[in-house]
Amino acid sequence: MTYEELENRLLRFVKAPEEGMFEELALEVFRFQKKNNAAYANYAALFPEPLRVEGIPAVPLRAFKERGLPLKSFEGDPVACFRTSGTTGAVRGEHYFCSLRLYEAAAREGWARAGLPEKVDYCLMPSPQEATDSSLSRMAGWLADEGAFMIRGGRLEVEELENKLRREEKPVTIFGTALAFLHFFEELQARHVKLQLPQGSVAVETGGYKGSGRELEKEAFYAMFAEYLGLPPDAVANEYGMTELSSQFYTRGLGRVHKGAPWVRAFVIDPRTQQEVGDGGTGVLKIVDLANLGSVCALLTQDLAVRRGADFVLLGRDPAALPRGCSRAADEMLTEGRSI
Amino acid sequence: MKTARERISALATAARTVAHCLGEIEERHLVEWLEAELGHVDALDAFVPVGSHYSRAYAPENILHIVSGNTPHAALQSLLRGLLLGSRNFWKLPSEGLPEAEIFLKALSEELRMQVEVATELPEEWLSHAQAVVVYGSDETIAHFRKRVRGDQIFEAHGHRVSFGVVMEDPDYESVRLAARDVCLFDQMGCLSPHGIYVCESNGLSARRYAARLAEAMETVCAELPPPVRPPEAAAQILDLRAGYAFRSANDHRVQIWTSPGSDAWTVIYEEEPWFAVSCLHRVVFVKPLPERLADAVAPVSRWLGAIGIWPAEEKYLPVLEGLRPSRICPLGRMQEPPLTWHAEGRGLIENLVRWLDFEGQLV
């Protein structure tokens, strides 16, 4: 099967998922990737041939940083390469695409399935034209017009955003990184400004505060949405995604599960046994994303989560929860990029 | 117990109960410690001759020790020092407690025990009452307390450190067991725990073979020193690192990985690239060929160097470490057992806490 043939099949599944087809497609995608991606094939050879989706060998995110071992399941030049964020000098992960059709379809359909308004009015991030290697900006570009992007030249246009939001009379949707929201709230606080968005407005935040030196409980963060935008927690959604994925998981409000779409599945696995934990158990997220056709569909994250049936409650990778040795651990010394 | 000599006797008795942690401590070791740092065992109790005059050392009345749970050795040694000095000690233990602390406290004589107050939550008044504050912990913890101490308080910080081993000669690979022990103790969480071993290949040794032998030794040592129950975060880090190196080893013959069968007890990674690799700890150790210029390879961590375990520990090999400034160079296998007289952070631990009074007159 060629890339295009499999892509078309997956596109049909994304638009009209058929019950019980995920596993068959996942194994099909695995076989395709093993055949067309030498680096992944060599890695997969270390594992028994999977008979079920759970057995598909998952690559760690750090594999996307290996120069000379591109996780490409296609020939020729990519049409896009998205890079993980990272500080100067840090190696950034690279995710190659030979077509963005699946990414766009997964992003749009996933957004709609999460019950979010079709159109995004404001994006607290740079535009895809400005941040050409940002997968998040590219995704937002499919959901919003160019004028919606409020970070320009690396600067959040606070005054413009404040004035525009103040004039809104109909419900609005704002999509941005958690850090950008936080920055906006701090600016509003400094100006003693509190806005009240129209009833029915929604905010979607994504990413954490990694690398910013900020520590903020989610409850406190969501309280800021209420204080500065007049949005109750249930009007705030969280998108869990990453540069290395093409699909996203969403939750709304506080203390609820993240849900994925029918073409992406999260497994909470015990890091010691690599077996799926029982319901309520804590483990590491392993994600099988069929929209990742051009790279690798099975990814091993470092994020911890609690399994809730087919969904999960994200615990994240809270550095404060990590054991701190007197010895300096890798996590603290080697800054690793994550998607914005 | 008014004099250091009296305290030495009682402390040596109590220290026997935690010898597995502190090593064998006899009275003479404590005497040597005082002599090494203060010049005289009686310097805390009387004026002793120093150059053309006399000096007497005064210990802080109260010392606050804020210790971490990962290396009980440091916690015990800090308190031992405070008691030897004759100070009153506020011992802030990690919230989960410290079993070795209980053992040591029980073994103290009543008089010494009265000199120690213990808490797992820091009472606010301790910080203000202490004349010296000793902190073991992360950069964030140290920064937090550094901001809170007054200018007249002595502040001693012990932050993150990175250690490693160097094997210069070992035709029969005998040092692998010593290296494995250094890695396994305290589950590699100590500042003296090696992250990796550099192997000099010019003497007929093979770094890859050393890694394979080290893997065998890790299995043996782990049977004797089973790993502790680790939190899921730690297990996740091990899995991530293992998967990353498995991916590399599958595609690059310059990388090889050995793992404990069916568990995450230990991991050995051979990597031809000499650039220093920081372990995620928990018995994950790198083995690399010793490069021509070691200082260049470890440059990213050079300001955090703790100990370098060398094998054999002979002076002729010291030039290999040129340009590096650890606080300890010791034989492999003894990395986790620093002597009492160790200059941690490059400073004398007792000398650092005392204030001297000089007397330039005549003693009767």
- Model pLDDT for residues A223-271, shown as the tens digit of each residue: 999 999 999 999 999 999 999 999 999 999 999 999 999 999 999 999 9
Q: How far is A4 from chain B (nearest CA, A)?
A: 27
Summarize the confidence of residues B81-103 as an average pLDDT.
Answer: 93
Asked which of A40-44, A121-125, A290-294, B120-124 is least confident by mean pLDDT, the reply is B120-124
Distance CA B194, CA B286 (A): 9
Summarize the confidence of residues B194-210 as an average pLDDT.
Answer: 95
Q: Is the pLDDT at B258 greater than 50, yes or no?
A: yes
* Nearest CB neighbour to B161, from listed A45, A328, A331: A328
Q: Is the pLDDT at A148 greater than 80, yes or no?
A: yes
**What are the C-alpha distances in Å from B211 to residues B28, B179, B206, B269, B297?**
40, 11, 9, 7, 19
A positions 236-275 inside 8 Å of B (CB): 270-272, 274
pLDDT of residue B213: 98
Distance CA B359, CA B357 (A): 7
Tell whether B336 lies on the interface with A, counting CB pairs under 8 A.
no
The H or E element containing residue A280 is none
Question: B216: closest CA among B265, B176, B274, B159?
Answer: B176
Q: Is the pLDDT at B21 greater than 90, yes or no?
A: no
Edge to edge, the sheet with strand B53-58 lists B48-50, B53-58, B355-359
Locus of tokens 């934990």: A277
Long-range CB pairs of B247-254 (<8 Å, 24+ gap) are B247/A39, B247/A43, B247/A59, B247/A60, B247/A62, B247/A63, B247/A66, B247/A69, B248/A66, B248/A69, B250/A39, B250/A42, B250/A43, B250/A45, B250/A46, B251/A38, B251/A39, B251/A42, B251/A43, B251/A66, B251/A69, B252/A69
Between B361 and A331, the higher pLDDT residue = B361
Summarize the confidence of residues B201-214 as an average pLDDT.
Answer: 95
> How many CB atoms are closer than 10 A to CB B315?
7
Two structure tokens written together for B280: 């995620």
User: How does residue A332 score in pLDDT terms, banded at 50, 70 and 90?
Assistant: very low
pLDDT of residue A326: 46
Distance CA B214, CA B287 (A): 9
* A22: three-class secondary structure by DSSP: helix
Distance CA B186, CA B183 (A): 8
Residues A340, A136 contacting (CB under 8 angstroms): yes
User: How does residue B2 score in pLDDT terms, banded at 50, 70 and 90?
Assistant: confident
> How many CB atoms are closer than 10 A to CB B356?
12
Q: Which amino acid does the sequence have at B291?
A: P
pLDDT of residue B316: 97
pLDDT more than 90, % of chain B: 85
User: How does residue A130 score in pLDDT terms, banded at 50, 70 and 90?
Assistant: very high
Q: Is the pLDDT at B116 greater than 90, yes or no?
A: yes
Summarize the confidence of residues B46-70 as an average pLDDT.
Answer: 94
Tens digit of each residue's pLDDT (9 = 90 or more) over B151-160: 999 999 998 8
Summarize the confidence of residues B99-123 as an average pLDDT.
Answer: 95
Helix, strand, coil percent values for chain A (each to nearest 5):
35, 20, 45
* Residues on chain A touching B344 (C-beta within 8 angstroms): none
Q: Tell me whether residue A19 is exposed, middle or buried, using C-beta atoms within 10 angstroms of its C-beta: 0 to 12, 13 to 18, 19 or more.
A: exposed
Two structure tokens written together for B8: 């030495």
Q: How far apart, in Å, do the first and last CA atoms of chain B sit?
A: 25
User: How does residue A324 score in pLDDT terms, banded at 50, 70 and 90?
Assistant: very low
pLDDT of residue A319: 41
Residues B159, B182 contacting (CB under 8 angstroms): no
* Residues on chain A touching B251 (C-beta within 8 angstroms): 38-39, 42-43, 66, 69
* Nearest CB neighbour to A284, from listed B158, B239, B252: B239
* Nearest CB neighbour to B247, from listed A43, A327, A328: A43
Q: Is the pLDDT at A322 greater than 60, yes or no?
A: no
Q: Is the pLDDT at B263 greater than 90, yes or no?
A: yes
Q: Is the pLDDT at A329 greater than 50, yes or no?
A: no
Distance CA A86, CA A89 (A): 8
B237–A330 C-beta distance less than 8 A: yes
Distance CA B284, CA B212 (A): 14
pLDDT of residue A123: 98
- The mean of the pLDDT values for chain B is 94
Summarize the confidence of residues B344-351 as an average pLDDT.
Answer: 90
Asked which of A43-47, A202-206, B19-23 is least confident by mean pLDDT, the reply is B19-23
User: How does residue A209 score in pLDDT terms, banded at 50, 70 and 90?
Assistant: low
Give the residue from chain B lying closest to A285, CA to CA: B236
Q: Which residues contact A273 (CB under 8 A, 6 or more apart)?
A: none
pLDDT more than 70, % of chain A: 90
**What are the C-alpha distances in Å from A2 to residues A264, A331, B317?**
21, 40, 60
* Residues on chain A touching B250 (C-beta within 8 angstroms): 39, 42-43, 45-46
B189–A284 C-beta distance less than 8 A: no
User: How does residue A89 score in pLDDT terms, banded at 50, 70 and 90?
Assistant: low
Q: Is the pLDDT at A331 greater than 90, yes or no?
A: no
* Nearest CB neighbour to A325, from listed B70, B235, B300: B70
User: How does residue A317 score in pLDDT terms, banded at 50, 70 and 90?
Assistant: low
Q: How far is A43 from chain B (nearest CA, A)?
A: 5
A322–B74 C-beta distance less than 8 A: no
* DSSP state string for A131-197: STT-HHHHHHHHHB-GGGB-EETTEE-HHHHHHHHHH--S--EEEEEHHHHHHHHHHHHHTT----P
A284–B232 C-beta distance less than 8 A: yes
* A229: three-class secondary structure by DSSP: helix
* Residues on chain B touching A334 (C-beta within 8 angstroms): 278
* Spacing of C-alpha B332 from chain mean position: 14
Locus of tokens 């070992």: B170
Helix pair angle (B4-15, B72-85), 10° resolution? 160
Q: Is the pLDDT at A323 greater than 50, yes or no?
A: no
Residues A251, A231 contacting (CB under 8 angstroms): no
Chains A & B: contacts with CB separation below 8 Å: 142
What is this structure's pTM? 0.89
Question: A70: closest CA among A302, A295, A300?
Answer: A295
A327–B281 C-beta distance less than 8 A: yes
